[in-house]
């Protein structure tokens, strides 16, 4: 069950990130097309300002795309068949608060009847709970968190 569940959660993460990559590529292409169309129109200061802003938007979108691709590469490092007994990169763990997946911060995923929050290794929660095992407890932000399960 654990391996299949972890594999399913990871597949959902890939679905989210692949969607975000596709949207980013489409936005870049649309922005580049508008730049080409804009180049065919009038000249002048207003035109040059518009072109400069469009170039900045393309650079910003390409930077975001680069980060999305890095996130996908991070996800590819996770082997769902590895069973973790401690909270580490690639772990899915259940606390007294909620379920978490240490991968990349992609938000919340609805997996069956469970809501799983994806967190990165840089998140304060991961830093606080790193290497804890089932049954361990830790005070975090004024709340006592118990580790119920780690996979």
pLDDT for position 49: 76
Residues in the chain predicted with pLDDT less than 50, given as ranges, are none
Residue 113: both structure tokens together: 């009847």
Q: Give the whole-angstrom CA distance, residue 97 versus residue 22.
A: 33
pLDDT for position 70: 95
pLDDT for position 80: 93
pLDDT for position 145: 97
pLDDT for position 46: 63
Within 13 Å and on the Cβ side, how many CA atoms surround 73? Answer: 6
pLDDT for position 129: 98
pLDDT for position 1: 55
pLDDT digits (tens, 9 = 90+) for 39-76: 655 555 666 777 788 889 899 999 999 999 999 999 99
């Amino acid at each position: 069950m654990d391996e299949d569940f972890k594999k399913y959660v990871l597949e959902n993460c890939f679905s989210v990130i692949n969607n975000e990559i596709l949207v980013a590529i489409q936005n870049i292409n649309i922005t580049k097309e508008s730049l080409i169309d804009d180049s065919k129109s009038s000249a002048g200061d207003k035109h040059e300002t518009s072109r400069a802003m469009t170039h900045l938007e393309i650079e910003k979108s390409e930077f975001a795309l680069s980060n999305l691709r890095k996130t996908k590469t991070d996800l590819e490092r996770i082997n769902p068949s590895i069973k973790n007994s401690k909270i580490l990169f690639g772990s899915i763990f259940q606390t007294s608060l909620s379920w978490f997946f240490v991968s990349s911060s992609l938000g919340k995923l609805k997996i069956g009847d469970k809501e799983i929050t994806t967190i990165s290794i840089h998140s304060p929660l991961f830093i606080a709970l790193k290497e804890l095992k089932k049954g361990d407890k830790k005070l975090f932000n004024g709340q006592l968190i118990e580790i119920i399960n780690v996979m």
